Chains A and B, each alone.
Chain A
Amino acid sequence: MVDYVSLFLNSDFAGNILLAYFLGMCSFVAVSKNLNTAIGLGFAVIFVLTITTPVNWLIFHHLLAPGSLAWAGLPDIDLSFLKLIIFISVIAAMVQAIEMVIDRFSAALYANLGIFLPLIAVNCAILGGSLFMVERNMTFMDSVVYGFGAGVGWMLAIVAMAAARIKMRYADLPTGLDGFAITMIVTGLMAMSFMLFSGITM
């Protein structure tokens, strides 16, 4: 249990998927202009990451990893080179399926998330979550906790950034520094403060 709490905290803060591994930057820069859409996208990312990381774990360890096809009588086959294509297809398919389910059962949530859901398929944080899960040899429960933690970390970062950008609207910046440049510099300062959490262990 303690391991899971520690993994969760690490993926939220010191190993934040956005501020330490730079994943999901494109939508981070574009969407943090508006606080409400940032919150909506944050929830959508948590949702999709929590589902796709474990699903990809199951697929990788039962179909793709070296020796995982032993149950089908093919112990020598190594399909792990297919993981990129399979993962991105799973993510695209899951996003599509989640979109249809939300559309069917909650019109209000669909109206809020509607535009962001398709964009999530090409958000590198989602694919990155699955690839890190393979690279770090996680167990199934680890992948569930990691997917959720990474999503929460991403949301923390984008919501904090959206809030900071509201204040920055009134800042008088030199020519050319406004927009993208100052956003990156503020993100750098934010990344520094998130690194302070790296001392926390359970």
Chain B
Amino acid sequence: MLLTRTKAFKTFAVPAWDNNPINVQMLGICSALAVTVQLKTSFVMALAMTFVLATSSLIISIMRRVIPGNIRIIAELAVIASLVVLTDEFLRAYFYDISKLLSVFVGLIITNCIILGRAEGFAMSNPPHLAFIDGLGNGAGYASVLLSVGFLRELFGSGKVFGFSVIPESFYAAGYEDMGFMLLAPAAFIIIGLMAWLQKYLILRKDQ
């Protein structure tokens, strides 16, 4: 059996591209827009999100037979919130500067609809190993959007990639200027809109 035919691979690949949580399912957009001014913060945020998503799916899937149906949302939120507190404290202890830049957005992972959506829609009805892979796949889909938006905004907004200047001095000497607009909120909306357009166009064309 080919690797690409296994159920586990599909569980990973479908959310990573065809059913991308941000561009296709339109979930979890808040944080995707707010932290993408720099590539560094996007990267840390994507890692934090993938960790919480995969671990919470795993834990909720293990407990899926003992969680009573009526109070499942609260039980799921408790698992997610505990993991987010762990992540937040970890970042504050080891990456204080970045956690200052991310400000409230690490905490807002709790209310990120991707996580609750995967917990409700997948982890509650699938075995732990698949739930974990599904979490990783959704995390990868989220990360790909975050990193591309972060890359574009940092490159055009401040002429840097991961904090290193990549646009040569001679460009600035010749009159090139950084687009300050890229660092502002509206640019994030427009870039995400254009990326969603491109992705939907590619998926539609493949289906035909």
Chain A residues with CB under 8 Å of chain B are 19-26, 29-30, 81-85, 88, 92, 122-124, 126-128, 131-132, 135, 174-177, 179-185, 187-189, 191-192, 195
B152 near A: Cβ within 8 Å? no
A30 touches B26 (CB 8 A): yes
A191 touches B104 (CB 8 A): no
For the complex, give the distance between the alpha carbons of A135 and B101 in Å: 12
Interface residues on B, range: 35 or more
A131 touches B26 (CB 8 A): no
B198 CB contacts on chain A under 8 angstroms: 176
Closest to B181 in A: A192
Chain B residues with CB under 8 Å of chain A are 23, 26-31, 33-34, 74, 77-78, 81-82, 84-85, 88-89, 103-104, 107-108, 110-113, 116, 184-190, 192-194, 196-201, 204
For the complex, give the distance between the alpha carbons of A55 and B168 in Å: 52
A22 touches B34 (CB 8 A): yes
For the complex, give the distance between the alpha carbons of A181 and B186 in Å: 14
A84 touches B85 (CB 8 A): yes
B200 touches A84 (CB 8 A): no
**Interface of chain A, helix or strand or loop or mixed?**
helix
Determine how close the nearest CB of chain B comes to the CB of A53; give it in whole angstroms: 13
A185 touches B190 (CB 8 A): yes
A175 touches B201 (CB 8 A): yes
A135 touches B88 (CB 8 A): no
A180 CB contacts on chain B under 8 angstroms: 23, 26, 193, 196, 200
B111 touches A123 (CB 8 A): yes
B200 touches A22 (CB 8 A): no
